[in-house]
Structure 1
Amino acid sequence: MREKVIKVIQEINDELIELNEYIYENPELGNKEYKSCKAHVDILREHGFDVEEKYLGIGTAFRATFDSGRSGPTIAYLSEYDALPMLGHGCGHNILGTTSTGAGIVLGKLISDIGGRVVVLGTPAEETDGAKVDMANRGTFDDIDVAMIAHPMDKHYRSGKSLAMEAIQFTFKGKSAHAAAYPEKGINALDAVINTFNNINALREHIRSDARVHGVIVEGGKAANIVPDLAIAQFYVRATSKKYLQELIVKIKNCAKGASLAAGTELEISNYEATYDNLVTNQILSKTYCNNLESMGVQNIYDRPDGGSLDTGNVSHVCPTIHPYFSISNNDIVAHTKEFADASVMPFAYEEMKKTIGALVLTAIDVINNKELLKKIKEEFEVTEK
């Protein structure tokens, strides 16, 4: 089967390179990936997929399905294609999406002989309002047996963990006044923001060492001689588990409430981006993928330090999921840079992309062919603490 997979990958390789470079040359921000989405949809349709565009009412999302017509598991590959402001594809979502869509096409060429179905999901705006959150909440993954996505990076890494994250905004409303002539008539909204930061800094002594709280002031007044009547702070609050994040959020909100009470302001609390759950890697599925990656010629697979947040985390709370990383450069490079974007269209990246597609497809074939393997994957999912 490995030889068949490699043969099909080679047959569509030029199409995948064309897809990747088109998206690289046309970077689009989250929820505005119209060209990128269409490029994925077009190639999937060319290879026999039934495609639902504007999936769930999301303008640049899609769901593409290839059904073998025979019973068997449903495998999902998750495609991303949003870019970064100023940097273009500094996170490499051009090659990420190409890898997932490529894996879907290859599996689609083989699935009629083994059963099941393959779904490729176009998931916009991972960098901000990750569409996977909405998809997970609205039942997209309820009929998916396993979900897989591989992200470009400096090396090949096993699927690990990510931090649960909530993007929380505090809007304080006070009362303006002349800061020198009538200070007693003003209510200083900026004081409430500053005290919120101070309260959170005091709280840090009493939170887990693996939690993270970091924020900025996005509105703090217009002139030094006017008491600020509006001040806004935004924070990312992160934790290793969804459960602890929820506990921590209550404390963070209390920091703002106390600051608002002290300053005499009104307080509005909202979320300015989607809330991401922590990634829960299915270890049996991950081991199967790594074994297949080694069979494709990758000798070194590393453990990646935990950090950052992913909307794939929300998927992993609904169905067995892995989110490994694959190398796109034989040099040390850092994500969210122009150098990283440029590496995603180099020959080295294409060779590693083919190996990664092979591993993703072979893993799906193992899951489809081996009922006992799928049973163990699902049993692990059911008992793993989220």
Structure 2
Amino acid sequence: MSRRPEDLDGLYERIRRECASRAERLWEVSRTLHADPEPAYEEHRAARLLGGELERAGFRVEREAAGLETAFVARSGAGGRCVALLMEYDALPGLGHACGHNLIAAAGLGAALALRGVLGEDAGRVLAVGTPAEERGGGKVDLAAAGVFDGADAALMFHPGVHDWSWAPLTAQTQVQVAFHGRAAHPTGDPTRGIDALAGLVQLFNTVAVVSRRLPPGSHVQGIVTHGGTATNIVPDYAEGLFGLRAATTAALDELVRELGVWAAGVAAATGTTADVRRIGKGYAHFRDNDVLSERFTRHLARSGITLTQPVPGTYLGSSDIGDVSTRVPAIHPFVAILGEEASDHTPAFARAADSERGRAVMLAAAEALACTAADVLLRDDLSARAWARLREKEAAGL
């Protein structure tokens, strides 16, 4: 049953007090994660720490969710609508928490605990979802495919960054392996028999460089050589490259993969080689922001003195497995700055910021705003209906 706005105002204040009462412990959890970074699929201690916090608060914790050793789903409540609060906690090799996932985890944890503490068991269902391997592999992709988000009415998270943006312009991404096959020969003793597979791969890189100038906004191809031959006195009969492809939408990404195959076939015909093109891994769908919910988060966050704006038009900021969740359920992924716009994530400076006083303040503000937005989803029929309608509109429009 929907609550009147005046009822919700009192509820928001109780949520803020609940988050404030947990502030020291949430910061302790964040700093523990920061001091003990674990890379993708190896976040065993992080998953135990977060799952344990939720279990002690009365959540029912399912570990190794979707067959992933470091994923978990913690459940609370019964009946009514359902909201999922997402936690990331993988770190970057060599850089630690240079993407601030320790802050994401602590904010999601704080929102889940505050929501349960204020609403109890009867106002709807809360899922606190531990999502490993955002940086490499995509735990959310597997969790979504396993049905973890089926029946949820919203999936909510925030991400620290260098912008204060109400939503994240995140592209679809995948990786494509291209292998060229030629014929080995001695480069001077029998030069006419050799068919240089590496030359084919190099020509593909040249083609990508030229064609990339006309790709649509958001589309991008970046490649590396993973095999280029074995010796300088042998014409390489095999060469292999790995290409990372991104595009503004999942449909545009599929078209870009098709185009790369066309370019490789053309190069093979020109060089006398043959080319095998193979998509690697699951990839990520593009992110569909649910502006109905993002606007609510923006309003709630403003109470902490942080103003979010729309992203700069034409700007794209990488990819994330939240995209696969956003195609199934209304979702948000705002950016909240812990460094200035002159800086960047995935740097040592950003890792330090993820353990700074500004990082602490942002994490606590985000926890409050996430919990209040989750309460809106659970208690306001009109909001949930509009969020679902907006998702279906974007799906129909291919956005």
Q: TM-score range by the shorter chain?
A: over 0.9
- 1:61 corresponds in structure 2 to 71
SS across alignment from 2:97: coil
SS across alignment from 1:196: helix
User: How many residues get paired?
Assistant: 384
Cα distance in 2 for partners of 1:148, 1:277 equals 17
Cα distance in 2 for partners of 1:238, 1:299 equals 29
Residue 89 in structure 1 maps to residue 97 in structure 2: yes
Letter of the 1:111 counterpart:
L
Do 2:217 and 2:248's aligned partners in 1 also have CA atoms closer than 8 Å? no
Matches within 5 A, 1:193-232: 193-232=201-240
- 1:360 corresponds in structure 2 to 370
Letter of the 1:110 counterpart:
V
Deviations 1:88-147 (Å, cap 9, x if unpaired)?
111111111111122112112123276111111111111111111222233222211100
Cα distance in 1 for partners of 2:117, 2:261 equals 51
TM-score norm. by structure 2 comes to 0.91
| Structure 1 residues 105 and 275: CA distance shift in structure 2, 3 A | same
Q: Which runs of 5+ in 2 are unaligned?
A: 1-10
Deviations 1:171-224 (Å, cap 9, x if unpaired)?
223333222212333332102211222333343354324321121212212332
Cα distance in 2 for partners of 1:354, 1:178 equals 65
Once the two structures are TM-superposed, the CA of residue 306 in structure 1 deviates from its matched residue by 2.5
Residue 29 in structure 1 maps to residue 9 in structure 2: no
Once the two structures are TM-superposed, the CA of residue 255 in structure 1 deviates from its matched residue by 1.1
| Structure 1 residues 302 and 244: CA distance shift in structure 2, 3 A | closer
SS across alignment from 1:147: strand
Q: Name the stretch that deviates more: 178-187 or 259-268.
A: 259-268
Matches within 5 A, 1:279-290: 279-290=287-298
- 2:390 corresponds in structure 1 to 380
Once the two structures are TM-superposed, the CA of residue 64 in structure 1 deviates from its matched residue by 1.1
Do 2:184 and 2:195's aligned partners in 1 also have CA atoms closer than 8 Å? yes
Cα distance in 2 for partners of 1:296, 1:337 equals 27
Q: Name the stretch that deviates more: 216-225 or 297-306.
A: 297-306
Letter of the 1:26 counterpart:
D
| Structure 1 residues 228 and 278: CA distance shift in structure 2, 3 A | same
- 2:265 corresponds in structure 1 to 257
Do 1:150 and 1:324's aligned partners in 2 also have CA atoms closer than 8 Å? yes
- 1:138 corresponds in structure 2 to 146
Residue 338 in structure 1 maps to residue 348 in structure 2: yes
SS across alignment from 2:48: helix
- 1:325 corresponds in structure 2 to 335
TM-score norm. by structure 1 comes to 0.93
- 1:44 corresponds in structure 2 to 54
Cα distance in 2 for partners of 1:45, 1:381 equals 32
SS across alignment from 1:251: helix
Identity %: 32
Q: CA RMSD in A?
A: 1.9
Question: Pick from 16, 23, 29: which aligns with 1:19?
Answer: 29
Q: Which runs of 5+ in 1 are unaligned?
A: none
Letter of the 1:181 counterpart:
G
Do 1:66 and 1:108's aligned partners in 2 also have CA atoms closer than 8 Å? yes
